[in-house]
Structure 1
Amino acid sequence: MSVKDKKILLIGLNNMHTELIISQLAKNNMKEVCFKSASHLSLDNQNSKFHLTLVDYQALKPDSQTMIFLTNPRQKMPILLFNVTNEIPIDTLLTWPQVKGFLSPTASIEHLTKSIEVVLDQGLWFPRHTLELMLEHYRSYKDLNSYHTQQPAIPLLTRREKQILSLLTDGKSNMEIAEKLFVAETTVKSHVYNLYKKLDVKCRKEAIYKVTQLNSVGTV
């Protein structure tokens, strides 16, 4: 299916500027353009018959139907914003899953038609600076997620277990720990046994190594 056969939904303000855009698109073989006023937008199943949605950024209002349309994760139709007067924050763009690009108010009709063709071909139409910021965000998220998944599990220790673990890693014997904490040696042995289970280790040497790992990432 060629671009001229694709159905486009235009959501915006009912004014001469919108009429001019529709007229210019028609001259560029994009005749299947349906206009819906942002102030009377109905989010019905009829919208699914379109291949692309053009949204006038100036028509966006908080809690409006258009804003709901933009943020709806179940909405799979690509969206192209036009008439964008200021840079859209990356955090905001990420909450609009289907927005594939935007154009400034000074964009020519040639730019608009080209952007429509690119987005319909599953491409993006963002300024280079915006693309760089988005890439940086995704990289940071990936690195952070990878960092957390690689870290050893943090065991939940009682206050007494932490005390014994600290003394144990200092090389203290069970008897020395018992004397330091004024408890029976059998009590210390019981705590050490529980520590081994929580740390998933089998001996004192493994416990010290595990604690060293946890300390290196600031989790103990």
Structure 2
Amino acid sequence: MRSQVTLKKEDMAQLAEKLTYIIGALKLQNEMMASLIERETDIKCLVVEDVGHVLGLDDKEIGQHKLILWDCLGKDPEICLAELEQVDRTALNRYLVALFNVSPGLQFEEKAVARGVRGLFYEQDPFEKLSKGIQAIFDGELWISRKILTKYILEKGREDRILRNEESLLTSREMEILTMISVGSKNEDIADKLFISPNTVKTHIYNIFKKIDVPNRLQAALWAAKNL
């Protein structure tokens, strides 16, 4: 069984590029899970008691390749995020953040997406889903159900379709395509559903990225979650 991890800043540079921190009470579950994550993903995993052990050590460059995996067992996940932002308001931008042991039915998911959470894992999820999700998050994906993303984007779109910068207003077709991108649709799927050619889809996506000033589909999805 692991003991509580205490790291010095000079030791951080020697760690692997990818590193996962499990934040929560140092219970047997988290200790065992850390070992399983390392074995199944080859990603270094450390268990720490609170977020201060992480944010007090990492600098911006190191933090870019780190995942904070926060144990919400018996806790309100919104309080977990508030604690994180209280210590460092930029943490959700500097780090990959995911929550696990989330109780279903809390109606919290949409708020989490808006604040930059990259993944949500529920109490009943098997370990296989957790390990797969961790790898996906490090690969730049969101580990959040399409249903939640679609609901959030559509509801936000109905509430306020006025974009922050009038010069970057999207056409109705571009907004439609951006919504489909946000839920993981491929170019071919978009073309089939909208009855347009794949080349036309590519042109629309190029224009969307240019208007909202994002480099890729992930950033476009995050932008849509916050602005549509």
Is structure 2 residue 111 aligned with structure 1 residue 92? yes
Q: How many residues align?
A: 145
- Which residue of 139, 161, 166 corresponds with 2:157? 139
Alignment partner of 1:38: what SS?
A: coil
* TM-score relative to the length of structure 2: 0.52
Change (3 A) 1:62 1:20: closer
Contact 2:110–2:148 (8 Å) recurs in 1: no
User: Which one scores higher on RCO, CA 8 angstroms, separation ≥ 6?
Assistant: 2
The equivalent residue for 1:74 is: 90
Query: Take 2:150 and 2:36, find their aligned partners in 1: how far apart are those partners?
Result: 32
Contact 1:9–1:34 (8 Å) recurs in 2: yes
Give ranges in structure 1 of 5+ residues lacking alignment. Answer: 150-220
Over the aligned positions, Cα root-mean-square deviation in angstroms equals 3.5
Q: Which moved more, 1:60-69 or 1:6-15?
A: 60-69
Residues 145-202 of structure 1: per-residue CA shift (max 9 Å, x gap): 25xx7xxxxxxxxxxxxxxxxxxxxxxxxxxxxxxxxxxxxxxxxxxxxxxxxxxxxx
Query: Take 2:140 and 2:99, find their aligned partners in 1: how far apart are those partners?
Result: 15
Q: Which moved more, 1:109-118 or 1:63-72?
A: 63-72
Contact 1:81–1:101 (8 Å) recurs in 2: yes
Which of the pair has more CA radius of gyration?
A: 1
Where does 1:54-203 land on structure 2 (aligned, <5 Å)?
54-58=69-73, 60=75, 67-70=82-85, 72-75=88-91, 76-87=94-105, 88-90=107-109, 92-94=111-113, 97-143=115-161, 145=162
Change (3 A) 1:135 1:120: same
* TM-score relative to the length of structure 1: 0.54
Query: Take 2:109 and 2:30, find their aligned partners in 1: how far apart are those partners?
Result: 27
Give ranges in structure 2 of 5+ residues lacking alignment. Answer: 1-15, 167-228
One-letter amino acid of the counterpart of residue 58, structure 1: L
